[in-house]
Amino acid sequence: MKDITKKYTNGEVTIVWKPNVCIHSEVCFHGLPEVFNPHTKPWINAEGATTERIINQVKQCPSGALTYYLNSEVAAEGGVAPDIEAESIVEPLPNGPLLVYGNIVVKDADGKETRKNKVTAFCRCGASSNKPYCDGTHVKINFRDKPES
């Protein structure tokens, strides 16, 4: 998968978008539609809001596909933009699956690899008929993180 990085600026802040990392949670779109609008081209309008509002919204991105840097800080560092790397996030849901956000490769017992690039839900209860993935069985068996006392 090609590592694509796109940049959009309003002169003060540069929004960096890595589409291969995006999990399409729509947090950006719902939080600041005047900047992030998937129905227009380009879908990011860095002129659509103040720098402060853009920074606050970019910080809400759950996958790290959206990041930013301040242009004044880059200028102070000799004009070299930071190298942006996105991280995967792992979140256990209470009494439910283990969610992994971002780009991952799942290798099965036979060594076959499957690429996932959105949100992947892994079984924690052990009862899924689609292991290692969650199929919702945890609800049927009343799976709990901690036994009820």
**What pLDDT does 21 receive?**
76
In this prediction the pTM is 0.57
More confident residue, 80 or 141: 141
Partnered with residue 122 across adjacent β-strands are 98, 133
**DSSP conformation class of 44:** B
* Range in 81-90, 116-125, 132-141 with the lowest mean pLDDT: 81-90
Domain 6-76 belongs to what topology?
Alpha-Beta Plaits (3.30.70)
Q: pLDDT tens-digit profile of 77-120?
A: 777 676 666 667 788 989 999 988 777 788 888 888 887 766 78
Q: pLDDT tens-digit profile of 35-46?
A: 999 999 999 999
The beta strands (E) that lie in 13-128 are given as 13-17, 66-70, 89-92, 98-101, 104-107, 113-116, 119-122
For all residues of the chain together, what is the average pLDDT? 85
For 8, phi and psi rounded to 5 degrees?
-135, 135
Residue from 31, 90, 92 nearest 63 by CA: 90
What is the location of CATH 3.30.70.20 in the chain? 6-76
